[in-house]
Amino acid sequence: MVRLRVRPKGADAAGKALDLPRQALHSRLADPAAYWLGPDQWLISSDTKPAKDIISDINSALSGQLYAATDMSSSNVCFSLCGPSARMVLAMGCGIDMHSSKFSTGQCVHTHFAHVLLFIAAVGDDKFDLYVDRSHARYLNDWLVKSGEDRITRDSRYHKMTVS
């Protein structure tokens, strides 16, 4: 995971050079995935490329611009939450409308979730990546497991959910 921040005046040029999402709360899901965090900052995440390679690519694409590319791999954890009950579980923990018509594939948001700051990315119809500070990872894992045991999700027709 790499957090990229550029000067506000250079955001459009950086977005074009790296094919970054420039629309609020949206993402590019190809590998490496790029998530909009603000008008001049993005989270770039990959399952196949180490952070140093992503930063090297950024260095090549943005030479001559002022920017900061920070390796966040050691400070954040990504959970994958998937299954038909994933939206219900997410709705139980935050104030975001998680209905598929309001929060669809390719969208992302920072929010308070179960009392911790969380970044949620919709990577599929019923699949979400949850990015959280490493210090809250155990708490979030326990909360997600416990929510799967909740009567509302357990008795729902949407009872299958996996956390990885």
pLDDT of residue 43 exceeding 90, the answer is yes
What is the structure's pLDDT at 157? Answer: 46
Which pLDDT belongs to residue 84?
84
Give pLDDT, residue 22.
Answer: 94
Q: What is the mean pLDDT of the chain?
A: 91
Q: How confident is the model at residue 147 (pLDDT cuts 50, 70, 90)?
A: confident
Q: Set out the domains of the chain in order of their start, with CATH numbers.
A: 2-71 (3.30.70), 76-163 (3.30.1360.120)
Q: What span, in angstroms and rounded, lies between the C-alpha atoms of 81 and 115?
A: 18
pLDDT at 133 over 90: yes
Q: What is the pLDDT of residues 82-113, one digit of tens each?
A: 988 899 899 999 999 999 999 999 999 999 99
For residues 59-88, one letter each, b for 16 or more C-beta atoms within 10 angstroms of the residue's C-beta and e for the rest, the string is eebbeeeebebeebbeebbbbebbbebbbb
Q: Radius of gyration of the chain from Cα atoms?
A: 17
pTM beyond 0.85: yes
